[in-house]
């Protein structure tokens, strides 16, 4: 049976028949489509992410299971969607909600892999799930923060960005990259699964000055916005645009009359915020480049599958909204790419809508591990072989109890728990400025899209989970 398993894997291996592929698993926090090859922002500078995309397949329509760190990551790592797990917010813990789940890392460990990680892979305390790791690198000491606010800004200005007077080596993500590099340089007795989780470009957008210099303020372009964009939204949609995340832990969200957007604009910070987000992405890209360079120099390069993903998108003023936690395109879309040495597809973009929850079954199949049943995702291996082939299944994103978005190649359909709906035609309206849900001529289309809505909706554990 083992011989058959390896024969099935042969098209994906650049080494010998008997080589079991390693996995380098790169997670990037709050990364939207502002990377060079996806064209989300014309001045994005991400040469290392882009060169990885050129080696394999990059999905242009990859969507998160949930537009919030914890539920998105738990879904990805367990293969269980939020509507089945009941994990909707950042407060739930993996083993309290899913005590019997077999995580992606667990499955690789059980299949004979050495499984190690560093940085933000899971969210919060779930990062140190004992069953998931042979070893997880945990930094000690205080984080450096030499940031100074712009002089003259009042205390109520929401300003969590700016250049730091330090080198890369003092940054959390750079230190984790160094540890990942040291692991790849070691002799390996087993095939390895090595996870590198970057905390950037999550807030705070504070990185060394040289990354701000890559994006001069005078050249910064603001995201496209439409005056009165919220006028055709249902009540719940408008509420999401006005909500801001409450980091206190008392509750996940708070509502402000005009949300973060009015604050940013009133204090003249919009252009500086965009600059800072771009700078932080470039910093993250540089650390990814260091890790990829190390892999290229190592003996593992020809037998290591690399997957890079962001956990969800990020608004910078679109729909008068900042942060994530919404069901629109900008909140839910994120980069996803696979490099499979010896694979059939190289340097190709796949336009089919897929979900991050598909990563688990994809890696299981690519590495020839025992199949896992009852998962909500499906293997993307067929699209890695032929990115243009038909793909009927849309991506489903959930934000809180019974709030879902369905994304096909052309349409985004949102249904909220209170009955509110949104419908956008991405061929004619890529910015989602015109909600078509109330127009009678789209009733049949909505009914077709609604068939993909989850039937099961597990109730949340706490009120803070929405």
Q: How far is CA 307 from CA 73, 169, 220, 365, 366, in A?
A: 15, 25, 30, 14, 11
- Residue from 367, 254, 252 nearest 305 by CA: 367
The rounded distance, in Å, linking the Cα atoms of 16 and 341 is 12
450: its two tokens = 């609604």
How many other CB atoms sit within 10 Å of the CB of residue 389? Answer: 10
Sign of dihedral through CA atoms 177, 181, 182, 183? positive
pLDDT of amino acid 145: 57
The rounded distance, in Å, linking the Cα atoms of 153 and 146 is 17
Are the CB atoms for 63 and 335 separated by under 8 Å? Answer: no
Q: How far is CA 434 from CA 146, 332, 333, 442, in A?
A: 43, 18, 19, 13
164-187 exposure pattern, b = at least 16 Cβ within 10 A, e = fewer? bebebeebbbbbbbbebbebbeee
Residues pairing with 22 in the sheet: 304
Are the CB atoms for 8 and 368 separated by under 8 Å? Answer: yes
Q: What's the count of helices (H) and strands (E) in the chain, helices before strands? A: 15, 20
Strands 253-255, 192-198: pairing kind: unpaired
> What's the predicted TM-score (pTM) here?
0.93
Task: Find tokens 């190592």 and name the residue.
Answer: 298
pLDDT of amino acid 6: 37
103: its two tokens = 């995580």
Q: Which of 123, 215, 261, 321 is catalytic?
A: 123
Strands 336-339, 304-310: pairing kind: antiparallel
65: its two tokens = 């299971």
The rounded distance, in Å, linking the Cα atoms of 357 and 42 is 29
Report residue 250 CA to chain centroid gap: 25
Q: What is the DSSP letter of 333?
A: B
Are the CB atoms for 10 and 17 separated by under 8 Å? Answer: yes
The rounded distance, in Å, linking the Cα atoms of 386 and 391 is 11
Are the CB atoms for 406 and 396 separated by under 8 Å? Answer: yes
Domain 2-226+260-394 has CATH 3.40.720.10: yes
The per-residue DSSP string of 79-119 comes to: S--HHHH---SSS--HHHH-TT---HHHHHHHTT-EEEEEE
pLDDT digits (tens), the chain, 466 positions:
433 443 344 344 333 333 699 999 999 999 999 999 999 999 999 999 999 999 999 999 999 999 999 999 999 999 999 999 999 998 888 999 999 999 999 999 999 999 999 999 998 766 678 899 999 999 876 665 566 778 888 888 889 999 999 999 999 999 999 999 999 999 899 999 999 999 999 999 999 999 999 999 999 999 999 999 999 999 999 999 887 654 434 445 555 667 789 999 999 999 999 999 999 999 999 999 999 999 999 999 999 999 999 999 999 999 999 999 999 999 999 999 999 998 868 999 999 999 999 999 999 999 999 999 999 999 999 999 999 999 999 999 999 999 999 999 999 999 999 999 999 999 999 999 999 999 999 999 999 999 999 999 999 886 544 5
- Going by C-beta distance under 8 Å and a sequence separation of 6 or more, which residues neighbour residue 366? 9, 12, 21, 305, 340, 381, 384
Helix/strand/coil for 423: strand
Report residue 313 CA to chain centroid gap: 7
The rounded distance, in Å, linking the Cα atoms of 160 and 314 is 15
Look at phi and psi of residue 268 and say left if phi exceeds 0, alpha if psi is from -120 to 50, else beta.
left
Give catalytic status of residue 123 as yes or no.
yes
Give catalytic status of residue 69 as yes or no.
yes
* Size (the chain), residues: 466
Give the relative orientation of helices 259-266 and 270-297 as an angle to the nearest 10 degrees: 110
Q: Which of 69, 215, 300, 350 is catalytic?
A: 69
Taking the CA atoms of residue 110, residue 114, residue 120 and residue 122 in that order, the dihedral angle to the nearest 10 degrees is 0
Q: For the chain, give every domain's residue range.
A: 2-226+260-394
């Amino acid at each position: 049976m083992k011989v058959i398993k390896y024969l099935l894997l042969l098209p994906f291996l650049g080494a010998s028949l008997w080589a079991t592929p390693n996995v380098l698993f790169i997670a990037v926090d709050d990364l939207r489509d502002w990377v060079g090859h996806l064209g989300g922002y014309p001045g994005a500078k991400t040469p290392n992410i882009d060169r990885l995309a050129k080696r394999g397949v990059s999905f242009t329509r990859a969507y998160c299971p949930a537009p919030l760190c914890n539920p998105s990551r738990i879904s990805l790592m367990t293969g269980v969607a939020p509507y089945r797990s009941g994990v909707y917010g950042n407060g739930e813990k993996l083993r309290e909600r899913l005590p019997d789940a077999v995580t992606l890392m667990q499955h690789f460990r059980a299949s004979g892999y050495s499984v190690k990680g560093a940085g933000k892979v899971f969210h919060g305390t779930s990062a140190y799930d004992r069953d998931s790791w042979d070893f997880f690198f945990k930094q000690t000491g205080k984080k450096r923060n030499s940031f100074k606010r712009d002089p003259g800004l009042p205390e109520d200005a929401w300003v969590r960005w700016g250049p730091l007077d330090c080198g890369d080596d003092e940054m959390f993500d750079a230190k984790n990259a160094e540890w990942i590099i040291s692991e790849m340089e070691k002799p390996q007795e087993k095939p390895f699964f090595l996870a590198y989780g970057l905390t950037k470009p999550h807030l705070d957008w504070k990185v060394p000055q040289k990354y701000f210099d890559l994006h001069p303020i005078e050249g910064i372009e603001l995201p496209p916005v439409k005056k009165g964009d919220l006028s055709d939204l249902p009540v719940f949609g408008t509420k999401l645009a006005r909500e801001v995340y409450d980091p206190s832990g008392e509750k996940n969200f708070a509502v402000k009359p005009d949300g973060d957007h009015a604050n940013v604009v009133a204090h003249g910070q919009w252009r500086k915020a965009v600059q800072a987000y771009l700078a932080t992405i470039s910093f993250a890209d540089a650390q990814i480049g260091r890790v990829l360079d190390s892999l290229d120099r190592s003996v593992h390069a020809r037998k290591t599958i690399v997957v890079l993903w962001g956990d969800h998108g990020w608004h910078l003023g679109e729909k008068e909204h900042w942060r994530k936690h919404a069901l629109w395109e900008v909140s839910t879309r994120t980069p996803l790419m696979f490099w499979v040495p010896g694979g059939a597809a190289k340097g190709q973009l796949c336009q089919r809508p897929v979900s991050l929850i598909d990563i688990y079954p994809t890696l299981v199949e690519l590495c020839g591990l025992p199949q896992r049943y009852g998962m909500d995702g499906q293997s993307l291996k067929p699209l890695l072989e032929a990115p243009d082939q038909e793909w009927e299944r849309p991506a489903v994103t959930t934000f809180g109890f019974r709030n879902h978005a369905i994304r096909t190649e052309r349409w985004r359909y949102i249904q909220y728990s209170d009955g509110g709906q949104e419908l956008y035609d991405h061929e004619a309206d890529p910015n989602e400025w015109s909600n078509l849900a109330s127009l009678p001529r789209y009733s049949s289309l909505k009914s077709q899209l609604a068939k993909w809505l989850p039937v099961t909706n597990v109730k949340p554990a706490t009120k803070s989970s929405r």
